[in-house]
Amino acid sequence: MLYQISDGTVSAGGEVILSHIDFEVRGAEKIAVVGKNGAGKTTLLRLIVGEIDLDRDDRRQGPGIVRARQATIGMLRQQAFSGDDRTVEEEILSGCPEQDPFSRERFEYQREYEALFTGFGFRKEDRVKRLSRFSGGERTKIALIRLLLDKPDILLLDEPTNHLDLETVRWLEQYMRRYPGAVVMVSHDRFFLDRTADVIYELEDRKLTRYAGNYTVYREEKRKRRRLQAKAYERQQEEFKRLEELVERFKHKPTKAAFARAKRKQMERMERVEKPAEEEGGFFTGDITPLIPGSKWVFEAEHLKLGYDRQLLELSLRIRRGQKIGLLGPNGAGKTTFLKTIAGFIPPVGGDFSLGVNITIGYFDQRAAEIESELSVAEHFHRLFPVMTEKEVRSTLGAYLFGGREASKRVSDLSGGEKARLVLAELLQSRPNFLILDEPTNHMDIRAKETLESAFQAYRGTILFVSHDRYFIRQVADAVLIFDNHSAMYYPFGYEHYIERLEKEESGQDISAMISAEEQALIAGLRAVPKAERHRLREIPTEEAYRDWKLRLTAEQMEAARERFGELEQRRQALENRWMESEVFWSGAQWDGETEYQQALKELEETGNHWRDLCLEWWDTENGVDTR
């Protein structure tokens, strides 16, 4: 045990911030502390590093904090440099414990420093620049590099991904996983926590609760515990009601008065089960279905040239009904330009594109969220959808976290994130079949983001969106389109799979599933040959024609297998929900649906394996591997 807090309390200004908490760091654990803003997360880090002390508590057994004798603790501090006139290299190397420039320890220290420096996005020549020439965000990165070189046994990080671009964050994730010591971090970047943390401490109502696993596992486990507590609470309330009825029935009967008193005593001795707090976010269990399905092909582009005065990139692709595609790429690559071109706000530089038949667009960007109205949220929403009853309006707004008092707020008094959430609720309620979204979750807290993630997952139309929130992209997108170097690359297996493949490529392994936007059209038979190029078909050799035919055949089978996999997963989830809502789940008895559930799992696994085999077959065919 490196560090332990037992029954600790911290107060400031007469207000309790942490109340009787238990916390521990074991070995090389990577721990994330999560909670609402102002819950006391940074206070906990300051307590661990020794900047503040526990309150005196005469009832506490032991010292309250136990720390391994040799354990070192390091925390990133602001303005931690000895002087702005020094160069980065002078500042960093001054922290090396070995000053002999020819020693092995100095060589290893300098080699890791160089790897960290370039890993955080600096150029090699920046090492000789003076600290005064760097921005605040860059100085924070330099301070973090120096801290990482110190290699404390317990590394404390407060919002480590601030000021970092996506590539640097991804690099830091890999470094954190390899870090030899323990890490305790506070971050709002849920994807970062998913890829680095193996323990989550939730700080809520001044209490700490420990969960094993990453952020997603913690959220699932918390919902499960809440469901169990809700069931236990309901059963206890039913038992209280039953006992109360017995007491009322027999308390005035002389022969049964003792029996009534015994039941009253039984009620008093029962340990109360607290009513669980309301679910933090709105979760959509039903489908959000577009009013009009629209045609099978939602969008078609042939040599579409995007830009304003100059061309940013060219692409050709089709988007099929029901796809949810996230756009990735650096700023200025053309992501927003692409969205605005499809929505009709700016013309293309060249090429052709068209929308399908009966396609209705719902467009969102940050300007769309700049709404002003003296009406309340409920009145504003009801005016847009007058056929809805007041109860329906309240219920719908409640699903988007505008319940009770929130629905009575003036629209003009809402924050930027709340206005964006209201506009997105209006979009989804109007039920178009093609949503085009530019940074839909900017300025939103985690609770609002999770609500919208659930809504977009329940939406059965087509979505094309840009977001810098990687967790949101993973939760919503089933494919990604990467804009870079004036071209677009399509990846059909989702964001997390794309990141894993990217890491394999960087480590020297092949990426077998990344294909260009034009090749993506070929996989699922998505694009027809342009009329002007049809004559070229006659020039294709027999072997190439066979290969193209086999690619199309495999693509059709892949699509069928994928759809079947989705159907089976829904069936498995429905069976699991039925089991968890049944009495046998709570009593531990044998479930009569066990055989059906196991059969569904088996069929799901077989279909998943078949789908993966088809993907590999497509790859082998595309790359000329003979599988005959």
Give pLDDT tens digits for 476-486: 999 999 988 88
Give the whole-angstrom CA distance, residue 429 versus residue 455: 11
Q: Do residues 88 and 143 touch, judged by C-beta distance below 8 A?
A: no
Q: Do residues 141 and 78 touch, judged by C-beta distance below 8 A?
A: no
The pair of structure tokens assigned to 135 is: 């921005």
Confidence at residue 551, expressed as pLDDT on a 0 to 100 scale: 65
608 membership: H or E segment, kind and range: helix 594-622
Confidence at residue 623, expressed as pLDDT on a 0 to 100 scale: 63
Average pLDDT by consecutive 10-residue portion of the chain (628 residues)? 90 89 93 88 91 81 83 76 77 82 84 88 88 82 88 91 82 90 92 94 92 93 88 90 88 84 88 78 81 92 86 87 92 88 91 92 88 93 94 92 90 90 94 94 86 94 94 93 85 84 70 47 41 34 52 71 82 79 67 81 83 72 58
Confidence at residue 516, expressed as pLDDT on a 0 to 100 scale: 47
- State whether the Cα torsion 205-206-209-215 is positive or negative: positive
Confidence at residue 212, expressed as pLDDT on a 0 to 100 scale: 94
Give the whole-angstrom CA distance, residue 3 versus residue 27: 9
Helix 390-399 to helix 377-384 angle, to the nearest 10 degrees?
A: 110
Confidence at residue 628, expressed as pLDDT on a 0 to 100 scale: 47
Number of helical H runs and strand E runs in the chain: 20, 19
Confidence at residue 508, expressed as pLDDT on a 0 to 100 scale: 64
Tell me if residue 488 falls in helix, strand or coil: strand
Beta pairing class for 462-466 and 324-328: parallel
Beta pairing class for 434-438 and 3-12: unpaired
Selection from 274, 63, 33 nearest residue 154 by Cα: 33
Selection from 441, 436, 447 nearest residue 324 by Cα: 436
Q: Where are the beta strands (DSSP E) in 198-332?
A: 199-204, 207-212, 297-307, 311-320, 324-328
Give the whole-angstrom CA distance, residue 400 versus residue 419: 11
Confidence at residue 523, expressed as pLDDT on a 0 to 100 scale: 46
Instruction: For residue 575, give every residue at least 6 positions away whose Cβ sits within 8 Å of its Cβ, in sequence order, or none.
Output: 593, 596, 597, 600
Report the largest interatomic distance among the alpha carbons of the chain, rounded to a whole angstrom. Answer: 105
Q: Do residues 557 and 614 touch, judged by C-beta distance below 8 A?
A: yes
Give the whole-angstrom CA distance, residue 608 versus residue 210: 34
Confidence at residue 397, expressed as pLDDT on a 0 to 100 scale: 93
What does 314-344 look like in DSSP terms, one character per residue? EEEEEEETT-EEEEE--TTSSHHHHHHHHHT
Tell me how far the alpha carbon of residue 448 is from its chain's centroid: 12
Q: Do residues 409 and 242 touch, judged by C-beta distance below 8 A?
A: no
The pair of structure tokens assigned to 227 is: 């469901």
The pair of structure tokens assigned to 420 is: 């964006």
Give the whole-angstrom CA distance, residue 596 versus residue 607: 16
Asked whether the whole model's pTM tops 0.75, one would answer no
Selection from 228, 268, 355, 270 nearest residue 304 by Cα: 355
Selection from 482, 483, 500 nearest residue 491 by Cα: 482
Read off φ and ψ for residue 422, nearest 5 degrees: -65, -45
Q: Do residues 438 and 461 touch, judged by C-beta distance below 8 A?
A: no
Confidence at residue 388, expressed as pLDDT on a 0 to 100 scale: 94
Measure the CA angle with vertex 287, ends 285 and 293; round to 5°.
175
The pair of structure tokens assigned to 398 is: 């409640």
Confidence at residue 310, expressed as pLDDT on a 0 to 100 scale: 81
